[in-house]
Structure 1
């Protein structure tokens, strides 16, 4: 070993020794400034000490169906959970609550049962005996929630301070207020929303016309969510007039309405100042331009989905970019007349995080400016080569997910550039990339330890030994777009669980 190498190794050991003397309280204070769970995941891989610290810092857990096999391990792993969300669970809620009640979670104070069909009364009593100090309970959007259920909740959780029973399927406000007043003595916050109409969803309904929907909206000034997907009478004139009645709207779905053009889109942007998400997929955006002096900037719009608008072109997309500076997500997939307009979105929207550009009409896709916020990019079916891919990897160096399916011109050289330059890369898809050599997969797994999922290129044959080796490195490899999880992954903890917790 050379003198310089020996000195460097000694310095590293000395620095690590010094770090070991830093109290856990100091580390925890530092880690708390990192709000993104993905950052905690990276820290957990540094050492077993950091793993135990990040485990203690996690305070919330969302339990969906694909997490169920790992639930016992997760409940042991995160002892300081204060809130559990069961909204996305579709199975037996009584069984799940009983399983949670058998764990040791002394800090648990909040439970979310929203969007469930009914209150799990059988297991709730058992759960309450284990967690009598529960402070917050969410039963919003529940199909069936009766006064009897409220009495049961009051009996089980006398210390509740917050309860959400908003947007029930059957609403009886007066009865529920009485039940709350008589049963809960410590309540500080109650959500009874749902009597004023906040959400209207009528996709594919044909038994009403413009007069009916207009009359309804004139009497519902607080509407926030509107879904008129596939509504045969809708045209630009209707949407322009309706948009003037929707000052509080923050979500609208006007997809599959082929009579709607740019006029409808920009009317929503102009007349609904609080709008955050617009869906106009498979519409007619692009076929009728608007005058530029009619444009108004909307700083609230964050999510815009325009997939499969066959008329959409660069001119319309550039106009959108000019009035929506805070866009975070944009889907332009299958808009085959769009090319440079997509680049202008990336240039002008400085908060952009997710872009779906699959099957654009661009021959080349060159980016010659930094995009530090972009974390997800779909370039499937684009006719880009290694040169363009190298530029993208250098300008979008914080990418975490990259899809390159059916990109027939790229080779392993371009993929190498991505893996080397994108140090936070977690997911990469190379499905049907014919010119990418199969042996690049192993190199990617061992080179970029942040990778969690790889869709392999053609001619890659995954052996049992390779699968286990890759899993031990925390990466799931598949040659099938629909099969990116593996039941054997549950045998590898704690690193691989992160691939399921943070897909």
Structure 2
């Protein structure tokens, strides 16, 4: 009797579900209580349509432009995988890939037609060969240039088979080129001159370890004509034995804003003197391991629009030239000084900066010995100071850090390395610097690991503390090194594995030229910290 009641209950439940619902929902409800249900023709057709729609490729409805935007937001690896899905995706990816990097060994020449048939919209190109491998030559470069008429950025690395003729082909075919970076190549001044003359919108030029330069200044120019570019905004010369031959280019570029001279041989005093007379609009100057004295540096005081000054390991420059610049260049925002332990830049120069440069936002002092006397003036007068780094200083101790903490109200980021500070002095940061968000302390043996947690607790977690109290080890002295404009600022470039090229064996030992010049300084803690701090802010204005 109980079984019959159960059956009646089941039947009544299924009937109630069937009567209270309609369509597929009612059918599924009846099946759930154990009663089989047959689908009508209309319901079956609806299910078939739904299945067909779910298996349909909905991306065919997307315009090519929308699909291209999706691809551009993907990483390089994901983008390569997507290009293998179908012929349409492969085509769209190729047509919208604007930035590629290619292995520039000699075998690339045979693959150029196929590569640029697929990637026909390239505007940013990097060609990099192995140091001891045979690179592409003029013929291959001319072929690439002809395929990339809209090229705006070009980077050449270790392309030793390229001559002045190859660069002339680039100048002829790529007239809209805006940025050129060359390194470890063997063509000479005429190749650079061809690009400067042929590319009327060239804005940034970076030249590193160019081997085919003449010994005499202006030896490659036609007569007394001074080459130059009205569009050139940034020029970086790095590790050039005969870099002085580019003096006519500097003088002829009247709209130059940024000049970086790094480890170039020769006496640069007279060059800087002429720059002050001929390139008055310059706003950023980097001088590193350069033969320049107070005479040359002081002449830059005529560049009253100067905003950024990097003075790195120039032992002949003293407080005298720094004071001269401060007295006239009141717009200075960023100053980096590496005194190289010579003690020729100290309190006097820093006090002049403090009194004359109220807009100072970033100050980096390496191997310089400031005291409370100069730091007090900086903290009091430079109310906009946001980033401060003191490294390898024998005089920056507890009194100095207390001075900074009590007076630098706008300070946001502080870096201290290899200085005689202790926990007692660092405690002042807990009460001062209300806008502080980041502190880095390295190789300061008087600061204990407990300090990091204590400071974060005092600031209620609003300050990030990076602490490394390891004892100093023998290594190269810290330096604020600056590489070429395109090397630092350019985003990562997609590498296209289009050709399988085999290189000759490559030794890891430095080249004889590097050994001669003694260029073994590398990136370090201070460099990475300051660059990260300054990320996002423009170092120079471009028009």
Asked if TM exceeds 0.5, the reply is: yes
SS of 1:254's equivalent? Answer: strand
Aligned residues: 330
* Structure 1 residue 433: Cα displacement: 1.8
Which residue number corresponds to residue 308 of structure 2?
A: 376
Which residue number corresponds to residue 274 of structure 1?
A: 201
1:320-331 maps to which residues of 2 (within 5 A)?
Answer: 320-331=249-260
> Separation in 1 of the partners of 2:231 and 2:272?
20
1:410-447 per-position Cα deviation (integer Å, ceiling 9, x unaligned): 2201110011101111112221024x436533442233
* Structure 1 residue 118: Cα displacement: 4.6
* Structure 1 residue 218: Cα displacement: 2.5
> Separation in 2 of the partners of 1:380 and 1:113?
44
SS of 1:366's equivalent? Answer: helix
Q: Which of 148, 157, 169 does residue 220 from structure 1 map onto?
A: 148
Q: Which of 325, 341, 346 does residue 392 from structure 1 map onto?
A: 325
* Structure 1 residue 282: Cα displacement: 1.8
* Structure 1 residue 170: Cα displacement: 4.2
Q: Does 1:248 align with 2:176?
A: yes
Which residue number corresponds to residue 451 of structure 1?
A: 385
Which residue number corresponds to residue 478 of structure 1?
A: 415
1:110-129 maps to which residues of 2 (within 5 A)?
Answer: 116-118=73-75
* Structure 1 residue 331: Cα displacement: 0.9
Q: Which of 349, 354, 371 does residue 414 from structure 1 map onto?
A: 349
Q: Which of 300, 321, 330 does residue 231 from structure 2 map onto?
A: 300
Contact kept? 1:334, 1:358, Cα under 8 Å: yes
> Separation in 2 of the partners of 1:248 and 1:452?
38
1:16-95 maps to which residues of 2 (within 5 A)?
Answer: none
Q: TM-score, normalising length from structure 2?
A: 0.52
Contact kept? 1:472, 1:492, Cα under 8 Å: no
Q: Does 1:210 align with 2:138?
A: yes
Contact kept? 2:313, 2:339, Cα under 8 Å: yes
Which residue number corresponds to residue 401 of structure 1?
A: 334
> Separation in 2 of the partners of 1:425 and 1:275?
31
Alignment root-mean-square deviation, CA: 4.1
Q: Is the alpha carbon distance of 1:237 and 1:477 closer, same or farther for their aligned partners in structure 2, counting shifts above 3 Å?
A: same
Q: Which of 454, 460, 475 does residue 396 from structure 2 map onto?
A: 460
Determine which structure has more spread, i.e. the larger CA radius of gyration: 2
> Separation in 1 of the partners of 2:96 and 2:411?
51
* Structure 1 residue 317: Cα displacement: 4.2
* Structure 1 residue 385: Cα displacement: 1.7
* Structure 1 residue 328: Cα displacement: 1.3
Q: Which of 335, 338, 349 does residue 264 from structure 2 map onto?
A: 335
1:179-190 maps to which residues of 2 (within 5 A)?
Answer: none
Q: Which of 296, 299, 318 does residue 247 from structure 2 map onto?
A: 318
Which residue number corresponds to residue 128 of structure 1?
A: none
Uncovered stretches (5+) of structure 2, i.e. residues with no partner: 1-68, 98-117, 419-436, 441-455, 465-532, 539-543
Contact kept? 1:118, 1:144, Cα under 8 Å: no
Contact kept? 1:377, 1:401, Cα under 8 Å: yes
* Structure 1 residue 235: Cα displacement: 2.7
SS of 2:183's equivalent? Answer: coil
* Structure 1 residue 343: Cα displacement: 3.4
SS of 1:243's equivalent? Answer: helix
1:66-89 per-position Cα deviation (integer Å, ceiling 9, x unaligned): xxxxxxxxxxxxxxxxxxxxxxxx
> Separation in 2 of the partners of 1:470 and 1:478?
17
SS of 1:479's equivalent? Answer: strand
* Structure 1 residue 453: Cα displacement: 2.0
Mean Cα deviation higher: 282-291 or 327-336: 282-291
* Structure 1 residue 244: Cα displacement: 2.4
Contact kept? 1:204, 1:231, Cα under 8 Å: yes
Q: Which of 159, 171, 179 does residue 231 from structure 1 map onto?
A: 159
* Structure 1 residue 458: Cα displacement: 3.0
Q: Is the alpha carbon distance of 1:414 and 1:295 closer, same or farther for their aligned partners in structure 2, counting shifts above 3 Å?
A: closer
Q: Which of 355, 359, 362 does residue 427 from structure 1 map onto?
A: 362
* Structure 1 residue 477: Cα displacement: 3.5
1:287-328 per-position Cα deviation (integer Å, ceiling 9, x unaligned): 362234454442111111111112112xx3431223211111
* Structure 1 residue 485: Cα displacement: 4.5
Contact kept? 1:330, 1:356, Cα under 8 Å: yes
> Separation in 2 of the partners of 1:419 and 1:237?
51
Q: Is the alpha carbon distance of 1:465 and 1:342 closer, same or farther for their aligned partners in structure 2, counting shifts above 3 Å?
A: closer
Mean Cα deviation higher: 346-355 or 285-294: 285-294
* Structure 1 residue 373: Cα displacement: 2.0
> Separation in 1 of the partners of 2:96 and 2:149?
21
Q: Is the alpha carbon distance of 1:209 and 1:262 closer, same or farther for their aligned partners in structure 2, counting shifts above 3 Å?
A: closer
1:135-154 maps to which residues of 2 (within 5 A)?
Answer: none
* Structure 1 residue 207: Cα displacement: 5.5
Which residue number corresponds to residue 62 of structure 1?
A: none
SS of 1:377's equivalent? Answer: strand
SS of 2:351's equivalent? Answer: helix
Q: Is the alpha carbon distance of 1:172 and 1:114 closer, same or farther for their aligned partners in structure 2, counting shifts above 3 Å?
A: closer
Contact kept? 1:328, 1:353, Cα under 8 Å: yes
> Separation in 2 of the partners of 1:411 and 1:360?
20
> Separation in 1 of the partners of 2:147 and 2:361?
48
Q: Which of 287, 309, 329 does residue 357 from structure 1 map onto?
A: 287
